[in-house]
A and B are shown apart, each in its own frame.
Chain A
Amino acid sequence: METAIRIKDLNVFAGKTQILHDINVEIPKNKITVILGPSGCGKTTLLKCMNRLTDLYPELKVSGEILINDKNIFDPGADISKLRQSMGLLSQRPYPLPMTIYNNIAYALKLRGVRGRRKQSILVMDYLKQANLYEEVRKRLREPASRLSIGQQQRLCLARGLAVNPDIILADEPTSALDPISSRFIDEKFQEIKPHFTIVVVTHVLRQARRIADNVIFMYMGEVVEQGSASEFFENPKEEKTKSYLEGMFN
């Protein structure tokens, strides 16, 4: 099994409190890896380390290595824009850019370097179709994206995330704010596109993890308790903490 992201001895401090303790994980390529754990265990921080959104928070001190294609993303010479572009991000709540529906995707294309109106317009339609949004917004492409419903906005964000042509998709509880139908669509979409992408999903919903995971990383209090394939993890957990979590003892 090929590894897409390898995290070595990752430690994150916020001031004096340590948020992540010695994280060592491997995320396999073209699989869905679910980072599971109760709220506040550091799942989101771990995800944000991967595309260096942690840079936005000056109070966070990060040490360790994250290797993608054998390159450490914390290298001083690393091209952060390129790095982020190689990962689509889907956040907990959708944040459409303050532009029209069309431009939300066209902007991502522009950043990716797609020139020419015709080419852009073809690709915009294509990504909207991929996110199962095209039929709903076909006649209102020039409307502000903020007028869409939350579920539609999240699908727009998915389309936008795909439009940068990433290898990896990072999703931070992408369905927690959505209606059941939009949620199911996102889950199914991940299954569908997984042969082409490495997908990392953060969730605290056990059911969702069971449904979509190929691989699980279970975190508790800033530490990785257990990691491995989903079948192993759910059928035959090794750690006591995992067992009690799966039995619903905490959270």
Chain B
Amino acid sequence: MYLLNRQQRHVVNYSWMLFSLLIIAFLPFMLFGGLYFKSFLLLKTHTLKDLIFLHSWHPSRGEFGFYPFIVGSIWVTLLAILISTPICLLTAINVTQYAKKRFLRIMHPVIDILAGIPSVVYGVWGILVIVPFISRYLGPWFGVQSMGYSILAGAFVLSVMIIPFILNIMIEIFRTIPTELKEATLSLGATKWQMVKHVLLRKALPGIIASVGFGLARAFGETMAVLMVVGNVIKVPHSVFDPGYTLPALIANNYGEVLSIPQYDSALMFAALLLLAVSLFFNLLMHFFIARYNKY
């Protein structure tokens, strides 16, 4: 026995589904709207251009130049991607095309464990291993004085953190390439390496770009681990051995203790808005590339 007949139940179920869908669809807009509303106090007195391109950050004097944070964030993120992408790509190719199947079965739990480690732990590891490594060995080797807390340290830690995410997607992509395509390529007389280079990589390209985009988005928003090793000095970094400051770290370090300074609260909201905007930009860029290379 039902309270409603089939038709009515259909309507009720359908409206619930539609409601959930709408909530998800509007969530980003609500976030954007909320952050924009909250940062309005800052935007009233400063132009967008000044906020993004000015170097000076003195909240007590009312100077809010986000440039050092933006540059710091972008450097750390891009470097991390630059380090982790080739490693992931080579690993994924090896595991799916060359290594024994047993190896993949071992790799999967390892990757999952790496993905599950809390970012604070990565941060601690960065402080204990990466920071001294840079100040004692890598810096002097390049003839640079560095205290170790630097853009490079942030990038190293970050690259290790995003490897499991990128790698998982890449392995999946290479696994889903049909065996018949490989057979077709090999039957033309291609060697295994030629097959990988000319056919598999091209076939996988949209997926590879998507996985890098996913890593990029994660890296850009990562807060804790980077904050612990990047140095947190508000200055535009001139080399990777310089300390820097990232947008997420700015928010995490200062939110909650700044209510005495007018506009500071609003400035942090603006930082969040910037984060969201840049993530969105990366996202769109990836979609563009995927669409461009997906034609094969």
Contact = CB atoms under 8 A, between A and B. Distances in A.
B6 to A, nearest CB: 41
Contacts of B189: 81-82, 84-85, 111-112, 164
B202 A99 contact: yes
Specify which of B182, B199, B295, B296 lies most central, judged by the most chain A CB atoms within 10 Å of its CB: B296
Contacts of B101: 58
B190 A89 contact: no
Interface string A100-125: 00000001100110000000000000
Interface in A65-98: 81-82, 84-85, 87-89, 91-93, 95, 97-98
B203 A84 contact: no
B187 interface: yes
Given A58-B100, A98-B296, A111-B194, A84 B178 contact: no
A160 B184 CA distance: 10
Nearest to A108: B188
Given A58-B101, A95-B181, A99-B202, A84 B186 contact: yes
B10 interface: no
A228 interface: no
A84 B179 contact: no
Interface residues of B, number: 23
A91 B296 contact: no
Contacts of A88: 187
Interface range on chain A (Cβ under 8 Å from partner): 20 to 34
Contacts of B168: none
A98 B202 contact: yes
A160 B179 CA distance: 18
A201 B14 CA distance: 53
Contacts of A157: 184
A85 B188 contact: yes
B253 interface: no
Contacts of B257: none
B185 A56 contact: no
A144 interface: yes
B63 to A, nearest CB: 53
A202 B284 CA distance: 47
A51 B199 contact: no
B187 A87 contact: yes
A79 to B, nearest CB: 10
Contact of A99 (B182, B183, B296): B296
A146 B295 contact: yes
Contacts of A91: 180, 183-184
Contact of B184 (A48, A87, A89, A112): A89
Contacts of B239: none
A56 B183 contact: yes
A107 B184 contact: no
A56 B179 contact: yes
Contacts of A160: 188
A145 B181 CA distance: 13
Contacts of B180: 91-93, 95
Contacts of A89: 183-184, 187
Nearest to A109: B188
Interface in A132-188: 144-147, 157, 160-161, 164, 170
- Which interface residue of A51, A145, A157 has the most chain B CB atoms within 10 A? A51
A14 interface: no
Interface in B149-203: 178-191, 194, 198-199, 202-203
Contact of B199 (A84, A98, A112, A161): A98
A206 interface: no
A180 to B, nearest CB: 23
Contact of A146 (B178, B194, B296): B296
A170 B198 CA distance: 23
A87 B101 CA distance: 29
Given A112-B189, A144-B295, A164-B188, A56 B182 contact: yes
Nearest to B199: A97
A53 interface: yes
Contacts of B186: 53, 56, 84
Contacts of A170: 187
Nearest to A55: B186
B191 A98 contact: no
Given A56-B183, A58-B101, A146-B295, A81 B199 contact: no
Closest 6 CB pairs of A and B: A85-B189, A98-B296, A89-B187, A95-B184, A98-B203, A98-B202
7 contacts: A91-B180, A99-B296, A111-B190, A112-B189, A145-B296, A161-B187, A164-B188
Given A81-B189, A99-B202, 18 more contacts: A56-B182, A56-B183, A56-B186, A58-B101, A84-B186, A84-B187, A84-B189, A85-B189, A88-B187, A91-B184, A95-B181, A97-B181, A97-B198, A107-B188, A145-B296, A160-B188, A161-B188, A164-B189
